[in-house]
A = this chain, B = another copy of it.
Amino acid sequence: MLYFDSDYLEGAHSSILEKLVTTNFEQTPGYGNDTYCESAREKIRQACNCPEAQVHFLVGGTQTNATVIDGLLKSYEGVIGVDSAHIELHEAGAIEFGGHKVITLPQEEGKLKASEVEKYLTKFYGDESFEHMTIPGAVYISHPTEWGTLYTKQELADLSAICHKYNLPLFLDGARLGYGLASLNTDVTMQDIAKYCDVFYIGGTKVGALFGEAVVITKPNLIPHFFTIIKQHGALLAKGRLLGIQFDTLFTDNLYLKIAKNAIEKAEQLKAIFKEKNYKFFLETDTNQQFIILEDTKLKELRQKISCSFWEKYDDTHTVVRFATSWATPQSSIDTLKEIL
């Protein structure tokens, strides 16, 4: 069976495992107060060109989104995001569990447009009874988006401008950040992201780590007592060094970007194969996720040999499925896919 279900099917990049093995019996303090974490933090600050950034390591994406958003918002505030946002649809109500509304705006190819944010805020504060409503307190975007699409540098700059005009921190979910940065069609760098966002995270789980997300707070003291907030969310890893070691490895010799490029190369090949075979794209993206429309009978047949993930029903007889490549996708998988198709 060939698996293209997701970008978290395998373990970790070999150099991470090696480092875990060689450091295994070292004794370090817990909770991120070890030298590996400190080293990883410093390398990330450099990669972001943001020497004053605060860097915290968490375990997974939903956890990170909930912890950061709860940290950013006051109790009466909500977070703005697109209606296709991961926090809105696929995190089991973790934001609401923390007491906050997700204020949804229409997406455009999965993206939040600055103009939509401005339109919403103008209308909101133009309403005579806005104080009876959830006050917007932060803006959430994903890069790449849930649909594998990418913001341009100009789009990020525009979002940042409208956010700052209204004093709303801009938070970027980078669960697949590596695949965005490694895309062949992007003008956005890690430094750009650090420049335009108030908080963002660098996804490890989907880009070479066993698990782990590195939260970068580009404005110091934006979230006071964030350590305690992490603990309160059950998100503080006892053996914090496991995260430090992984991110230290990923940010040594540019490994993070290098392995992300593999996913992009394989995704480009995969797209070419589907096109050649005249498959219909629901969405063709510049990152590691491709969305194909399949007849249900065809899907059933394919799933004998290829595993891909259900995205949504297209119509009564068709289904949209997602094919994801990753840092670990071998050439042989692409070759076998070609044969099967």
CA A71 to CA B77, docked complex, whole Å:
12
Q: Which of A221-229, A273-281, A283-291 contacts B (4 or more CB under 8 A)?
A: A221-229
**Residue interface mask A1-17, B partner, CB < 8 A = 1:** 00101101111101001
Whether B310 and A129, one on each chain, are in contact in the complex, defined by CB atoms closer than 8 angstroms, is: yes
Which of A17, A94, A128 has the most CB atoms of chain B within a 10 A radius of its CB?
Answer: A94
Instruction: Answer whether A242 and B27 are a contact pair too, CB < 8 Å, given A62-B231, A93-B101, A101-B96.
Output: no
Chain B residue numbers with a CB within 8 Å of A89 are 133
Q: Count copies of this chain in the complex.
A: 4
Main secondary structure of the interface of A (DSSP, over half): loop
Whether A90 and B132, one on each chain, are in contact in the complex, defined by CB atoms closer than 8 angstroms, is: yes
Say if the beta carbon of A263 comes within 8 Å of chain B. no
Chain B residue numbers with a CB within 8 Å of A131 are 92, 225, 227-228, 231
Chain B residue numbers with a CB within 8 Å of A237 are 59-60, 211
Whether A96 and B99, one on each chain, are in contact in the complex, defined by CB atoms closer than 8 angstroms, is: yes
Say if the beta carbon of A123 comes within 8 Å of chain B. yes
Whether A234 and B24, one on each chain, are in contact in the complex, defined by CB atoms closer than 8 angstroms, is: no
Whether A9 and B27, one on each chain, are in contact in the complex, defined by CB atoms closer than 8 angstroms, is: yes
Say if the beta carbon of A210 comes within 8 Å of chain B. yes
Chain B residue numbers with a CB within 8 Å of A60 are 234, 236-238
Say if the beta carbon of A26 comes within 8 Å of chain B. yes
**Residue interface mask A70-91, B partner, CB < 8 A = 1:** 1100111010000000000111
Say if the beta carbon of A49 comes within 8 Å of chain B. no
Say if the beta carbon of A328 comes within 8 Å of chain B. yes
Say if the beta carbon of A30 comes within 8 Å of chain B. yes
Task: Give the 9 A-B residue pairs with the shortest CB-CB distance, closest first.
Answer: A63-B234, A11-B24, A92-B231, A93-B134, A92-B232, A9-B27, A96-B101, A3-B27, A93-B101
Chain A residues near B (Cβ < 8 Å): 3, 5-6, 8-12, 14, 17, 20-21, 23-30, 59-67, 70-71, 74-76, 78, 89-102, 123, 126-129, 131-135, 205-206, 210-211, 224-225, 227-229, 231-239, 242, 309-310, 312-313, 328
14 inter-chain pairs at a CB distance below 8 angstroms, sorted by A residue, are: A9-B30, A11-B25, A17-B21, A60-B236, A63-B235, A64-B234, A78-B93, A92-B134, A93-B99, A97-B99, A97-B233, A127-B312, A132-B231, A211-B242
